[in-house]
Structure 1
Amino acid sequence: MAGDLKNGRTVHSLARLLCLYNVTLRYVPYQADLAMPKEIVEYVAKHGIRQEVFTR
């Protein structure tokens, strides 16, 4: 997932939905202050999904 991960409701919903599958979520925020919110990262981690963050 890339772009404005902080304010994008669709990426929040997609992250929650993908917890139903065996995937690795990769985040590429446009800027550091637009990263995926802590609540979503914790929710995904609680479901055992691997997450990676890439920056420029």
Structure 2
Amino acid sequence: MQDERERRIKERAFELWQREGSLDGRSLAHWLQAEREIKKRTKRKRRLAMSSA
């Protein structure tokens, strides 16, 4: 599960990097933003799953 989470973060960070013009020097910022987004999505999915159970 951790590998899947890390893969999703890596993919999202890459998307953010591309969206900003593929400039160097912002990899940490992209990674941290991707982590926040994935965490938020995961929490939302868990809430939805719990409310429908």
Q: Which has the higher helix share?
A: 2
TM-score between both structures, scaled by the size of structure 2: 0.28
Query: Taking structure 1 as the reference length, what is the TM-score of the superposition?
Result: 0.27
Structure index of larger Rg: 2
Q: Which has the higher contact order (CA 8 A, sep 6+)?
A: 1
